[in-house]
Chain A
Amino acid sequence: MTVEAEAEAAIPADPHHIPEGADYITHEHGLKSWLTTVDHKRIGVMYLISILLAFFAGGVFALILRTELLTPGKTIMEADTYNEMFTLHGAIMVFLFIIPSIPAALGNFFLPIMIGAKDVAFPKLNLASLYIYWIGAIFTLIAIVAGHIDTGWTFYTPYSMRGDNSAVWMTIGVFILGFSSILTGLNFIATVHKMRSPGMHWRRLPLFIWGIYATAVIQVLATPVLAITLLLLATEKIVGIGIFDPALGGDPVLFQHFFWFYSHPAVYIMILPGMAIVSEVIACFSRRKVFGYMFIAMSSVALALLGFLVWGHHMFVSGQSEYATMVFSALTFLVAIPSGVKIFNWLATLYQGSISLESPMLYSLAFIALFTIGGLTGLFLGTLSTDIHLHDTYFVVAHFHYVMVGGTVFGFLSGLHYWWPKITGRLYDERWARVAFVLVFIGFNVTFFSQFILGSRGMPRRYYSYLDQFQPLHMTSSGGAYIIGVGFVVMAIMFAKSLKSGAKAGRNPWGSAGYEWPHPHNFAEQPVFTRGPYDYHLATERELFTGTDEEWDAHMAKKGEA
């Protein structure tokens, strides 16, 4: 039997086949059908809901933080409560929200569709990762409810060795979350390597996939180190093995090396998917193939690899050797290169495009501006002499919010707005989306730009109270945070209205040439790709048509008449 014949014959019936007229949301009903599904789209949606809840929780903690910081002394809570608040804010935002955000939610939904696969390589494992995520979240909740967890998201020893055992619950929770992340990454790598449809060669891979792929590599290779670190930390705390606790001859600086060996690469787990979305959105709203496609793709891989070599830049003042400090500083600068390459190529994509400014594009353009600020201030921190002054001040807080919120969250929101019609089948109210954008954008800059100034002037982070001279800037920052809050409320209402009463979306509301759009959901038959995902000049009129199927029929009928 020939290979083709065997392939032909072996294609089995799809047990999850979605009948005509139904879609992945409506073809089965009931909670059970969701909790036992192996459909990557449903799993993606469940992730999306989970991370939005986490973001909401983290955001509420942030608003509490900002409220406390309105006045130098006590405003609404005591010092130790404040310390719990920023620990929970940081840990929830990082481990429960931002790391799974784009890959696990949007990635799960779109990765298989964009490469023409029916599902990810291991659908059951995919569902298992979601359950593992939930279990990790429950442990984190236990730590919050049962105890007093005030170590900061970095869990530095020996402080984390003290206090009650809620730190153990928290570390176990994060340990479990780590495995969820590893399994998701593993699944995606296998999917990208083995599940691509004919014609989907590496040079045609959508940039979103390249970004998620590079992210997955970091997830698989860096997260286990965090896992073992947290395991050692928990064991140290419970039985005292003497590795990190100086009272037993251990070394707290070693803990920091272990922690950052994961957590620096983790910042690229956060930003690469954001960049991946921006590449898609810029191409779509400029109607043009991304300029320097291969350079953007390779810069993602370069960031993933270089990211493993710079962890020591978080430890310039920790007491690590001067030699290590020198090497880490030098390598840190190299990371700026691939980031710059992306920015320049995005700009070049706009050149001679046909640009429209709907909300996804607004978020992506904002990403470019805000990430540039975040990245450039990263250079202040990579430079040794200035980092000595700025380390552990609000300058660092501002830096990482510019990259994580201005970067990743804006990228995520861009993707959410972009793919919302595909996920829900409905359109949202573009005017309100823009109102929310403006509020979030302004609020964000007010909140965090003032923090750069605070930090340069010497305001340390994780401070419950501060010198009177810093109050005006702190109040400005808090005011900005409330504006962000209002912006998100507007956005939440806007999306809720779309779910309830939004107009039915056509197959391709933005007129994108991307593969994920033209087909109702996954491809019914295995597709054979004959053009790249950004080849607008090769896409058919049907593919780029923005209206609903009925409108298309009407359109064709009219054409026929003419």
Chain B
Amino acid sequence: MSTEAHGDSHFLQHHYDTPAQQFNAAKLGMWLFLAQELLFFGGLFVAYGVFRSWYPQAWVVGSHLLDYRMGALNTAVLLLSSFTAVMAVRSAQTGNQKATGNFLLATIALAGVFMVVKYFEYAHKFEVGFLPGSHFAPHGVGLAEIVEAARESGVNGVPYHLRTFFGLYFVMTGVHGLHVLIGMFVMGWMWNRNRKGEFSTRYSTPVEMTALYWHLVDIIWIFLFPLLYLID
């Protein structure tokens, strides 16, 4: 059992026999984690589906109250960030340390853009009183928006369950936003590890796993966007 033969085998943890085994285990672990995440969000999607079928009018009006342009912008931003994440993995695999760092930074920056756009969306909703559940109290511009949205969607009056729609809107996008923040944090950590030269052509597993996670965050948004903003 000698370690001298491979200078970079320090990344191989003691309880694995080969780097391939270690990589495969990490990958399986990550996929399981993603499966877990899907079920976690799955609960929210089920709640969405149930309430949508019970209170269709509230859902129609609700989706008209969300700004699909902001949503679309954020979708584009996230898609782009998935691309930069892939590039970061590729650079890491080919041993291009500098590019890896830059792509990670680009991904973090795009995630930041996403959060800023979300901030503006939230700020507006808070301002006009589109708050979840018991706090739902539209006023001023908010009321005008509701009237407009109801007219557009051919609904009479203000559906009572708009409060539920916004309740779910905030929970779903909030939990997703939390995942974006966690992703930014992890990518920052990866950036630092990359800076210290921990990754190489032989070992880039952490970057790959981070990217997998980031794709999941992306995919979930791809579902959230049409469900919340588009279909009516």
Q: Which residues of A contact B (CB under 8 A)?
A: 6-7, 9-16, 112, 117-123, 125, 182, 185-187, 189-191, 193-195, 220-225, 227-229, 231-232, 235-236, 239-243, 245, 248-251, 254, 258, 526
Contact = CB atoms under 8 A, between A and B. Distances in A.
Interface stretch (B43-51, B80-88, B184-192): B43-51
Interface stretch (B22-30, B104-112, B140-148): B22-30
Contacts of A236: 133
Interface string B26-63: 10110011011101111110110011000100000000
Nearest to B159: A249
B161 interface: yes
B133 to A, nearest CB: 4
Contacts of B41: 228
B211 interface: no
A6 B2 CA distance: 11
A6 B18 contact: yes
A419 B175 CA distance: 43
Interface of B: 1-3, 5-6, 9, 12-19, 21, 24-26, 28-29, 32-33, 35-37, 39-44, 46-47, 50-51, 55, 132-136, 160-161, 163-164, 167-168, 170-171, 175
A117 B15 contact: yes
B2 A9 contact: yes
Nearest to A187: B29
A18 to B, nearest CB: 12
Contacts of A243: 47, 51, 133, 164, 167-168
A258 B36 contact: no
A254 B50 contact: yes
A119 B21 CA distance: 13
Given A182-B36, A195-B21, A220-B36, 11 more contacts: A6-B18, A119-B15, A122-B26, A122-B29, A189-B28, A221-B35, A228-B44, A242-B163, A248-B167, A249-B164, A258-B43
A11 B1 contact: yes
Contacts of A245: 133
B133 A10 contact: no
B21 A194 contact: yes
B43 A224 contact: yes
Closest 5 CB pairs of A and B: A241-B167, A240-B134, A242-B133, A228-B43, A224-B40
Nearest to A121: B25
Given A182-B36, A248-B133, A13 B14 contact: yes
Contacts of A254: 47, 50
B169 to A, nearest CB: 10
A242 B164 contact: yes
Contacts of A195: 15-16, 21, 25
Given A194-B21, A220-B36, A243-B51, A9 B28 contact: no
Contacts of A231: 171, 175
Contact of B132 (A112, A117, A121, A242): A242
B101 to A, nearest CB: 25
Contacts of B50: 251, 254
Contacts of A232: 43, 47, 171
Nearest to A235: B171
A235 B47 CA distance: 14
A12 B12 contact: yes
Nearest to B131: A239
Contact of A16 (B14, B40, B51, B167): B14
Given A118-B14, A248-B163, A240 B32 contact: no
A220 B35 contact: yes
18 contacts: A10-B12, A12-B3, A14-B15, A16-B14, A121-B29, A190-B29, A222-B39, A225-B42, A231-B171, A242-B132, A242-B133, A242-B161, A242-B163, A242-B167, A243-B168, A254-B47, A254-B50, A258-B43
A189 B32 contact: yes
Contacts of B55: 249
**Candidate in B33, B50, B133 with the most chain A CB atoms within 10 angstroms:** B133
B23 to A, nearest CB: 10
B11 to A, nearest CB: 10
A294 B26 CA distance: 29
A471 to B, nearest CB: 44
A258 to B, nearest CB: 6
A7 B134 contact: no
Contacts of B19: 10
Given A225-B43, A228-B41, A241 B35 contact: no
Nearest to A216: B32
A12 B9 contact: yes
A254 B161 CA distance: 16
Contacts of B161: 242, 249
B133 A221 contact: no
A9 B2 CA distance: 6
Given A190-B29, A225-B43, A231-B175, A14 B51 contact: no
Contacts of A229: 43
